Amino acid sequence: MIALQIPGPSWAHALPAHVKLLFLAFSGALLFPVKDPLVLGASVIVVFGFYASLGANGLAQLRLLRPFAYMLVFIVGLHALSGTLQNGISIALRLTAMVLLANFVSVTTRMDDMLDAVRPMFVPLKWIGGSPQKPALAVTLVIRFAPVLLTIYRNLQEAFRARTGQKSSWRLIAPLALQALRMSEHVAEALTARGGTKGLSGER
Amino acid sequence: MRAGRVNGGGQADMAFWSKRSKTNGGQAFNLSQDVYAAFENVSLKLGDRVVLNSVSLELRERRIGLVGLNGSGKSTLVRLLNGLRLPDSGTVRIFGAPTEDVTGDLPRHVGFVFQNPDHQAIFPTVEEEITFGLTQLGLPKKDAARDARAFLKLHDCERLAELPFSSLSEGQKQLICILAILVMGPQILVLDEPLSSLDGLASRLILKKLGSLEQRIVMVSHDLSTFADFDRILWLDEGTIRMDGVPGDVLPAYSADLDRRAANAEAGGGAL
Amino acid sequence: MSDRSLVQIAFYAALIAALGLLPPIAIPFLGGVPITAQSLGVMLAGVMLGPVRGALAVLLLLFLVALGAPLLSGGRGGLAVFAGPSVGFLIGWPVGAFVAGLIMQKTANYNVLVSAAFAAAIGGIGVIYAFGIPGLVVMTDLTFAKAAMGSAIYLPGDLVKVAIAAIVAQTVARGLPHALMSRA
């Protein structure tokens, strides 16, 4: 499956995932109350510098944020209408800095590492009788089956077109949901046949 | 007798497994006994429909095939072997242990391969798929990944290790599904129409692979030619065993019955 | 949680992701605002799986997005979506799925089409906007009225999705009755 990450190595890839996550949380908390456009503008420049330090691949990332830019224009416009243009600009700068920083963490961290970094969060599941392994297994299942469901949708589309000549229809969503459910029954059975989510290690 | 061993066959598997001390979930299983599965007056309903009607059987042969029409109870019968279904009445014993007492431990001894590999493979890549079986047995992830790699090499599939499962050919997919079960070291391998999505060559190669294995095999198939080398065939009809014997007796009788039914029926919706 | 529930939750998360990956439909008479099928997936999760499993399916999808999977419509993903102005809507998703599932359960005696439409409208629009608009206010410092106005352009598309969710629920109830887990 496609992922957001840009290929490493770089200084940012080398940092452990939990360090990056803590840094992101800390920066967010720090930036949130700031109103001064100069400070916020400086933060945006620093974050741009992070991307620039990754080279051409890093700078190419900034292009992906175009849809986000439209939203910012819309927000600044609404503020301008209310006569709070300066406030609007501060907010746009703060959102830009935060979104770009969050994205920076995502594009320099592999999903596996991210999962490992947050795994301790699932330990409490043990206290309520759950298994901390389950979230990871569920994540794997989604990654495996999201593309399969897209393929099923394309097959339905083909069958639909063969009989109607039309390209696509919302009416395909019901059969897609049905097929997904049927398939989930098979997959659940196959998982049980291999010892299920509990495993066979003897721990229950 | 069986076809000759293909490379990386059963004996290598056994060597692979003898390296580790295999904890045996409970003491209830007696793995040395001859009869690996026994059905005692087993009945089972799905809703109002009787799927199996007081079936009694002892399975001891190395290769057992199941034939019968859709809805005859084949799929249910094989699911009873691995605890996916439990009998409504009667008892199924695997190596002497009643399945309802050992449900959670059955996958350790009875591997189950499904018809559609896409329904069985849970993980995005081949290596993860094989690793899962070992982590299920309680191996730490690192050791499991290393052993999975070794197991793939043993079966000449090393080059597939890092490929996404979806990029494999149908035959490769089914082979990986079988290996993902074999890596757990089961005594019995149950296969529910494992060849139906494969082309002629792939199904011959999978059969050859199965022929090379040490495991006892119980297999459902609609393609009667796949059973030529088997030791025993069970013919299921409306939830009962209609005939039970060597392929040379059962398969021609089953085939003749199909011909007779087709000849006597109208080619309309009623008979289908 | 059984193996079956876990796999169902994962399949619904995958289904929401797949719906988000379908190309958006721009409906001209609605002013050309692109409609993506993704929030339809959120409504369906609640309506089909019931409150707990529906909400968990949505949470699972958001968890994957946070890990860096580009599974939101338009290929968006990563932590950035949670730092943006529309984060309130994302927070509203699992709650909306939960409420939709709860309504399906509580109205189990009514016609599937009617109660699914009601559940999808309250959970999939009411609840999600109830989180989304205040979220927008917090993130952008806009007045509540302006934030609500800005969100209203999506309302017609969401109403279309409510209708589709209701029809899908009814179709599934006919085609595979036990699959409507919210009523099982």
- pLDDT number for residue C28: 56
C-alpha–C-alpha distance, residues C119 and C104, integer Å: 6
For residue B147, the one-letter residue type is: D
Chain B contacts of A1, Cβ < 8 Å? 124
Contacts 24+ apart (CB under 8 A), A169-176: A170/C37, A170/C164, A173/C19, A173/C37, A173/C40, A173/C164, A173/C168, A174/C167, A174/C168, A174/C171, A174/C172, A174/C175, A175/C171, A176/A149, A176/A152, A176/C15, A176/C18
Which amino acid would we find at residue B207?
L
In chain B, whose CA is at the least distance from the CA of A183?
Answer: B119
d(CA A19, CA A12): 10
The per-residue DSSP string of B201-242 comes to: HHHHHHHHHHHT-SSEEEEE-S-GGGGTT-SEEEEEETTEEE
Q: Across the beta sheet with B89-94, what order do the strands follow?
A: B49-59, B37-46, B89-94, B97-98
Check CB contact of A2 with chain B, cutoff 8 Å: no
Neighbours of C67 (CB within 10 A): 26
Average of per-residue pLDDT across B116-143: 90
Q: Which fold does the domain C3-183 belong to in CATH? A: Arp2/3 complex 21 kDa subunit ARPC3 (1.10.1760)
With a cut of 50, which residues of chain A have pLDDT below it?
A: 1, 203-204
The answer to whether the CB atoms of A187 and B120 lie below 8 A apart is yes
Pairing of strands B240-245, B232-237: antiparallel
The pLDDT value recorded for residue A24 is: 93
pLDDT-derived band at B9 (thresholds 50, 70, 90) equals: very low
Judged by CB atoms closer than 8 Å, whether chains meet at C17 and A142 is answered as yes
What pTM did the predictor assign?
A: 0.83
CB atoms within 10 A of CB B250: 22
Give chain B's mean pLDDT: 88
List the domains of chain B with CATH numbers.
Answer: 31-255 (3.40.50.300)
- Closest approach of chain B CAs to the CA of A138, in angstroms? 10
Residues C118-164 pLDDT 10s = 999 999 999 999 999 999 999 999 899 989 988 888 898 899 999 99
- Chain B: residue nearest A180 by CA? B119
Over the Cα atoms of chain C, what is R_g?
Answer: 16
Which chain C residues contact residue A134 at CB under 8 A?
1, 6
Place of tokens 């043990």: A126
- Average pLDDT for residues B55-62, to the nearest whole number? 96
Is residue B156 within 8 Å of B7, Cβ to Cβ?
Answer: yes
Give the ipTM: 0.88
Indicate the domain borders of chain C. 3-183
Q: With a CB-CB cutoff of 8 Å, which residues 168-187 of chain A face chain B?
A: 183, 186-187
Question: B199 CB contacts (<8 Å, ≥6 apart)?
Answer: B170, B171
Is the pLDDT reported for residue B71 higher than 70? Answer: yes
Percent with pLDDT over 70 in chain C: 93
Give residue C33's pLDDT band: very low, low, confident or very high (50, 70, 90). low
Out of A101-115, B54-68, B104-118, the most confident range is B54-68
pLDDT band at C96 (very low <50, low <70, confident <90, very high): very high
